[in-house]
Structure 1
Amino acid sequence: MPTGTGGEATAMKQLGANDPRSAGRHRLLAVIGQGAMGRVLLGRAPDGRLVAVKMVHRHLARSPEFRERFRMEVQASQRVTGAYTAAVMDADPDAPEPWLASTYVPGPSLREAVEQSGPLPLGGLRLLTAGLAAALLEIHRAGMIHRDLKPANVLLGAEGPRVIDFGIARALETRTQLTSTGSPIGSPAFMSPEQAGGDELTTASDVFSVGGMLVLAASGQNPFTGASAPQTLYNVVHARADTGAVPAALRTVVDACLAKNPAHRPTAEQLLGAVEAVSARAAWPSEVQRAIARDAAEAQRWDESDGQPSEPAGGRRWWVIAAAIVTVVGVVGAGVFALTHGRSAAPDPLAHRTLAISDDQLRTVDTCRLLGADVIGSLGQPAQPVLTNSSVCSAKVTLSGGRQPTMTVGVGVAAPDVVRTADSLADQPVLDTRAGNRACGRAVRAGAQSKVAIEFTVADADGDSCAPAMAGLKSALTRLVTNSPTASLSRQSVVRVDPCASVDSSVIGAAVGSGVSASAIDVHTCQWQGTGLGMKLQTTETARLDNNPKYQQVGIGGEIQLAPHQAARLVDADGTCSTYLMVQPTTGDRGETIAAIAHPVTPASSGKACGATESVIGSVLERLGYT
C-alpha cells in the first residue's frame, strides 16, 4: 500500500495507543504506513469519503521554519485540481501534529507495480503517460513545479495514475540539509540535469522526470542509477538513457523528454498530444488491477469496521467488494477477472500484455531457474539444469512413461529470422526456431523492436515435440514477466555489462580499425568487423577454461599496464586467437569469463590477433574497476 511519504508498502494496521483518533473533522481508521516526514493514516471525511491523512512527525513540527514552509506548501497544493492528482481536501498546518488530508487512492505506486509485476505493456504505458501529462498540466497551471516526481510519488489508481506529494517534498528540505546553494534537491535517479546541477528550474524539469519514469515503467530499470549518489547525478547530467525497451510508439517522445537541454523537451500539453497517436487501448495490466482491488477492499473493510481489526476471510462479502471494484477498474482497463464461489479465477498473466523486456533485464536473469519444477513441472520432472552460458541452460526432463527429452531455454539469445507460427504470446508472434522428427523450438522476441529473443526447445523427444516446446515457452515467459528469477551478481560482475559498451573506442579502433560500429549478437556478445580483423567479445558465466589442458595458459596485462591475469588461449590454424579470462569463479566448474576472439580477415593481420584480444580484455577490466 503506497504511503505517499517514501515509506515501504505494507498492509494496513490498527491504530496504536499513541496514534490520534481524529484529524480535524476526519475520523482516523488505520495506519497505512510511514516515512521520513510522517505517518500516513486512513481516514473518513465527514461526507463518508475515504482520505489519506499525512501526519507530520512531532520532531519536525517543532521547527518553526519547517512549519512555515509546510503551511506555504499546503496553500499551494490546495490550488491544484484535476483527475490525475490526489486532491488535497483539508489540512491544519498549525496543529500540534500538522496534517494534510487528500483523496485516498487505492492501488500500488509505480515503483511497487514495476518491482512486483515487471514492466508495463504498451496499453499501461499509454495510460501512465497521458495521466502524468495531464497531472503536469494542472500542477504547472497552478504556478508550481513538483520537483520530486519519482515512481514512489505516482499511484496507479482505477481511473489512471495520480501524482502525490507535490509541494510537500519541498517542505522536507529544511530538515535534510539540502538547501545550501548549489545542492541538488529531490531524488537523484529522477532529477533533471539542471536540478542535479543546482540550477534554476522551469516546468521542463518535471517533464524530464516523467521521461525517466516512463523508461523505468517500460524496462524495469532506473535509467540513470549508478553505484553511488554522485555517480547517479553524473549520469543524469552526462549519460544518455537507454530507451530501447520503450515501445516504438512512445520512444520518440520519451527521448525528447530526456533531452539534456530543457528547451528541447516537450511541454506537458505536447506530451499529452503525442499520446493520442498511440493505438493501444489505455489499460492497466491485470496484476495492477488486482492490486487496486485488494487495496480498495482492505480500506473498505477498515471503514466498515470503524477502525477495528477484522478478518477478511471471515465471509464472502470481501470478495464481493473486490469483485465490484475490479469491475470498475475494467471500465478503464482490461483483463477483468471473474470471481465465483469466493475465489478468483486465475487470469492469464500474458493476456493484454505487450512484451518489452530490456537487454539489461535479460542479462541479470538466472536462466537455469526457468527450468525448475516450479516453472515447467507441468511438463515433467526436470533434472539438475546444466548451464551453457548465462543465456542458455538445459535439463533432462522425465515425462510420464519414462521418456527423457532435453529441454533448453535461451534468454536474450539472438532473435532468429524464421517462420512465424499462428500463435502469439504477449502480443508477440511465436517463431518456429527448430523443426524435425525429434526436435522443435519456439521463441518470441523480447519486444517489438528487440533483436533478441526468449527461446524454448525440446530435443530427443518421441512424438510431438512442438506442443511441449510451446508450453515450455509460455511457462518460462510467464515467470519472466511476473517474477523474474534474478541471478546473484556482484557490482563488478561481467555478466551485468553491455559488451558493446564495455570497451573503450580507442582500443577497438586500434584493434580493428577506426570507425567500426559495434553489432550486438545477443545480450552477452558483441562483434566489430574490420577490414583486417574481426573481433568478438563475450561477457558471461560459462564453464571454466583456465584449467582445461586443451588451452594454453598465458599471462596478460603487461603491455596494457594492468596487473597480470592468468588466461586461457587457443589459436586455430587460420590464425583466429581466442583468449578467455576467468574473472571470478562462481559455482562448480563455472566462472564469470571475459572472452575475446579475434579472426584475421587477411594473413597480414594474424600476427596482431592475440595482442588485440589482450587489449580488449584489458579495457573491459579497466571499466569494471579490476585494475
Structure 2
Amino acid sequence: MRPLGASDPRQVGPYRTLAELGRGGMGRVLLGSGPDGRLVAVKLVAEHYVDDDGFRARFRREVRASRQVAGAYTAAVIDADPEAPTPWLASVYVPGPALHTAVARAGALGAEAALRLAAGLAAALVEVHRSGLVHRDLKPSNVLLTDDGLRVIDFGIARAAEGDGTQVTRTGALVGTAGYMSPEQARGERPGPASDVFSLGSVLVYACTGHGPFAVGSTPVILHNVLTAAPELGGLPEPVRELARACLAKDPAARPTPGQLLDRIGGVVPAARPWPPAVHAMIAAQQGEVDRLLHGAPPPGMPYPVAPTAVGQAPPAGPSRRRFLAAGGAALGVAAVAGAAAWATSGGEAKAHKSAPAKPAMRPLATLASDVPLSDLRFSPDGGLLAAIGGDETVRLFDVAARQPSGDPIKGGTGYRARIAGIAFDQTGGTLATAGDGVKLWDVKTRRQTAALTVPITRNVNAPGPAHAVGYSPDGRLLGGAGTDLIQIWDAHTRAPAGRIDLGGANIGSKVAFTGDGRLLVTPDHNAVKVYDVASGRQSGPSLLGHTGAVIAVLVSPDGRTLASAAYDSTVRLWDVTTGRAVGSPLTVDSSTMVEFLAFSPDGRTLAGGGTGGAVHLWDVAAQRPVGKPVGLGGEVTGVAFDSGGRTLATVTKRTIQLWDLAALTKA
C-alpha cells in the first residue's frame, strides 16, 4: 500500500480515494470509500487503453456481465464508468492475500487446505458459469484467500483488454498467463466453461507445489507442454492429484464440470479458520494496515500519516514518494487488497515505468491521422497506399499522396472471428492478405473478399485454425500463413496448397519471412531462429543461436542475403542467410526498449526498428552500426515501413502515421 501522489485523483466517481494498492500493465488500483463509508477497490484503466474505442465497448460489456455474478465466492463488481475520461470500476473490498502471494510467503498448502481450495474454486465457477460467463484467466493471482474462504476476482475484466476470444498479440506473445491456459486457448480457440476447469487444475498444482503443471521454460515451451505434455503432478497429495489429473485432461469433453468436481470432493470439514495460521496472520496484518490508515496512524515504516484530501486540495506535506518507497518498504510487502495488485499486473509482474521518450528532433514530411489505434504498417508495392491493422479489428488503408484515408476499412469478420493478426500485399498490390480466422484475400480496389484459405489447427488435425502471421515470397509465387504449430504454404496464383512446414510444437510466435527466391522461409523458435527449405518442409541447416530472450521479429533483406532478428533481450542481430553465421556484433538498444517491428530499405542498406521506448532506430547493415539519431515519437512504435523508392520511412504510434525523409534521418 502506498500513499497517494500529487497527481493521483482524490475522487473517482462517488468514491473518495485513500491510498494506492497496486499498478501494472492494465492500470492501477486505489483503495476508496463510498458515500456510505463502504471500502472498495477502485481500478483505473491504463492510459494506453483510454483512446481505444474497441476497449471501451468491451469494457462496458464485460462490466455489465460481471455485475450479474454475486456469489459468496466472488468479489463483486458494484460500480463502473466506462465513459469516464479514465474508465474505472469498483469492486467489493475483501482483505486477503492472493494465492500466489500466500504460497510464496507461507508455503504450499497441505491436502486438507488444497481440497478446501478446490471446493471453493468449483463453487465459484458454478456461479460464474450460471451467469453465462467464462472466466478465461483463472490463475493464482486471481484467487484471494480470506478469513471465511476464498474469492475469485476479475472474471471477464481482463477479456476487455484482450478483445473477443483468446488472442495473440501483434508481437506473437500470448495475452494472458500461458501456464494456466487450456489447450484450446493455446490453439487460439474460443474458451468455454471446460477451459476454466483446466485452469482450476493448474491452480491446484501451484497451490500444492509452488509451480504450475507446465511452467518450465519460455512461453512457447510452456504452451507446447500445455498442448502435448503430461502435467507434472509430483508432490501433490493423493486425493488432490486425482482431482488435478481429471481437470487437466487435454480433451475438454473429458473434464468434469464444476458441479461434478464438488460431488467428487464430497464436502469439506467446516472450519472457523480455513487456511494455515501463516495465511491468517497475513490477512490480519493486511487488515491492520488498513485500520491504521483509516484512523490516521501511519502504517509500519511510513514516517507520516496518510490523510486523504478533497478534490483539488494539495496533498499533505511530507517526504516524497521516492523517499517513502525507500523508507517504507515493509509496507509494500503486504498482499494485494481485493486482488488489486493481481488485477494491476494482470497476467504477470508489474512492468517498470519507462522514462518519456525524447520529442521528435525534426519535422516529418507528413502526418496521417486515424480514428483508431494502428499497428503493423505496410506500403503497397507502388508506394501509393499504406495499410495498417486497426484497433477495431479492421485493416485501414491510406492514400499516401492525398495524406488521407482511402476507402472503407476491411473488416475480417464478426465476433471472435474478426481478429486480424497480420497483413501483406501481393506483388501487384491488387490483393491484400490478412491473417486471423485463417488467411483471407481481399481485392484492394473493391475491398471485397476474394478467397478464404484454411490453416490447419495442428499438423495432425486438418480442422480450420487461427493464423497468426501471413506473407508473400518476394517473387510473388508463394503465400504463407502461420498457424499454431505449422506454416501452410499456397501457390499465390492458383491458391492450391504448395507445402507445409512442421514447426515441431506450438509456436504461436511464428512469422512468415521468405527469402528473395522463395526457396527458404525463416521464422522464430523461442530464443532461436530457424530456416526451412520450402520444397521439403525440413529445417535447412542448424538453428541460429545468439539471442538470450525470445525472438520477436524476423525479416530477410530484399536481396535475400541478410536476415535480421529482434528479441526480448533488447538486441537486433544480423545473419548471413547462406552460411547461417552471425554478421558482426549485436545491435543494441537501451534495456527499456524492445524492438518489435523491423523494415529493410529496398536496397538492403538500412534497417529500421521500432517498438517500446518510443523511438525509431536506424542501422547501417554493411557497417553494423547506428546511423543518425533515434527519432523520438512520443509513444510506443507499432509499425515501420519503407516505400518502394527507399526515400521515405513511415512510422506509426497510436493513431498517428508519420512519413519521414530517410536522407534527413540518416544525417541527423
Q: TM-score range by the shorter chain?
A: 0.3 to 0.5
TM-score norm. by structure 2 comes to 0.43
Normalising by structure 1, we get a TM-score of 0.46
Pick the structure with more strand per residue: 2
Which structure dedicates a bigger proportion of its chain to helix? 1
Say which structure, 1 or 2, has more relative contact order (CA 8 Å, 6+ apart).
Answer: 2
Q: Which structure would you say has the larger Rg?
A: 1
